[in-house]
């Protein structure tokens, strides 16, 4: 696992997630793209995760490079993502990214929102 360390939090990418993200960013063919991970109000459990590629990085974003992938988390979201990890699975049961968050007290059935 690759680790983002900051005085405020720690967010991890598994090797599989880092590899897939690198592949997706390279396919975009745009310089300066980072994976932005955020927590937004909404969803059936109170908060939902948001992930997208972003070239607009704010000065107060928590940022780190992991296996050639720049990961950024805004200052408000990092409070909910400390100790969380992002994984990628590709198999017969489906493919996709999944966030495992030890701060989530409750999650919804679809797995995209938490409280």
Q: What's the total number of domains in the chain? A: 1
Report residues of the chain scoring pLDDT below 50.
1-8
Evaluate whether residue 115 is within a structural domain: no
Count Cβ atoms below 10 Å from residue 11 Cβ, excluding itself.
25
**Boundaries of domain holding 83:** 2-108
pTM: 0.79
Helix (H, G, I), strand (E, B) or coil at 48: strand
Q: What is the mean pLDDT of the chain?
A: 82
Evaluate whether residue 113 is within a structural domain: no
Rounded Cα distance, 11 and 81, in Å = 6
Based on the number of CB atoms within 10 Å of its own CB, is 20 exposed (0-12), middle (13-18) or buried (19 or more)?
buried
Evaluate whether residue 82 is within a structural domain: yes
Evaluate whether residue 68 is within a structural domain: yes
Q: What is the CATH number of the domain that holds 86?
A: 2.60.300.12
The reported pLDDT for the residue numbered 95 is: 85
């Amino acid at each position: 696992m690759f680790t983002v360390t900051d005085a405020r939090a720690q967010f991890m990418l598994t090797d599989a997630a880092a590899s897939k993200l690198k592949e997706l960013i390279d396919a975009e063919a745009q310089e300066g793209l980072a994976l932005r991970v955020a927590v937004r109000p909404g969803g059936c459990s109170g908060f939902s995760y948001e992930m997208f590629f972003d070239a607009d990085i704010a000065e107060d974003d928590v940022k780190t490079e992991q296996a050639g992938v720049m990961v950024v988390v805004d200052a408000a979201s990092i409070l909910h993502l400390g100790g969380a990890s992002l994984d990628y699975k590709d198999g017969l049961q489906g493919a996709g990214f999944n966030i495992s968050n030890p701060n989530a007290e409750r999650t919804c059935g679809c797995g995209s929102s938490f409280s």
